[in-house]
Amino acid sequence: MSKDKLQTIRDAAPAVLPSLLMCDFGDLKTEVQRLEAAGTRVLHLDVMDGHFVPNLTYGMPIIEGLRKHTDMPLDVHLMISDPLKYAKPMVDAGADLLTFHVEAVEDAQSVAQQIRDLGVAVGVALNPGTPMEKLDGCLDAVDMALVMSVEAGFGGQSFNPIALERLRTLRASHPDLLLEIDGGINEQTIGQAAAAGCDLFVVGSAIFGKQDYAAAIGSLDQAISAAGKAGEVSGS
């Protein structure tokens, strides 16, 4: 990936990233077209291996298929036990940003550098139950930190407000780092995340559970904007 795609992601922020896990995979091309028409600028893909997390989703063929139908950056979240084993195949398939879980590796800084050497942007993800200290030493080696507001791979969980505290901490310590949140993001929680300093908001059912993607994304964008305006007023 050229630096242009990372810059595209930065320029899009604050941005809603539809999680394609909930889309219609029988008509993927149309889904992408609908999302683009609704104003989407970055797509999020959840890759689960059935080992690091209990669910199994998709791999390189879906990434490759999407790449044929869109120029949007593909933000690929690797919820897998051995991210380095599949990093290059993911990049070859068309991934632009690869995020691995700090819980899955021994040396996060080394893993981040090896992924970066493949020519893509790199992110590190942290589950709610994992101490923040696990990120020590690797944040300067990544382009993005993904703060999970639910435990990765488990459905039906409630939004964990510890994510907001973590976003505030990361924003204060790393003002230039892209911050992303994933899990339970909807019209009620997205504003809280925005106020805490988040840049990228991964959303599933709050988009794909609606008939009108543009209206759904518009409502989420409005909540982000309202949080920003409230922050400006309180800071003035």
- Please check if 65 is assigned to a binding site: no
* Positions of E strands within the chain: 15-18, 43-48, 74-79, 97-101, 121-126, 144-148, 178-182, 200-203
Confidence (pLDDT) at 236? 41
CA nearest to 23, candidates 223, 221, 216, 224: 216
Instruction: Give this prediction's pTM.
Output: 0.94
DSSP designation for 29: H
Q: Which residue has the higher pLDDT, 56 or 163?
A: 163
In this model, does residue 2 exceed pLDDT 60? no
pLDDT in tens, 103-117: 999 999 999 999 999
CATH of span 3-235 = 3.20.20.70
In this model, does residue 154 exceed pLDDT 90? no
Q: What is the pLDDT of the chain when averaged over all its residues?
A: 93
In this model, does residue 35 exceed pLDDT 60? yes
Matching residue, tokens 């890759």: 47
Other beta carbons within 10 angstroms of residue 8's beta carbon come to 16
- Please check if 24 is assigned to a binding site: no
- Please check if 77 is assigned to a binding site: yes
- Please check if 82 is assigned to a binding site: no
CA distance 9 to 75: 9
Confidence (pLDDT) at 233? 46
Instruction: Supply the residues annotated as catalytic.
Output: 46, 182
Question: Is residue 127 a contact partner of residue 103, using CB atoms and an 8 Å limit?
Answer: yes
Tell me the mean pLDDT in the region 125-139: 96
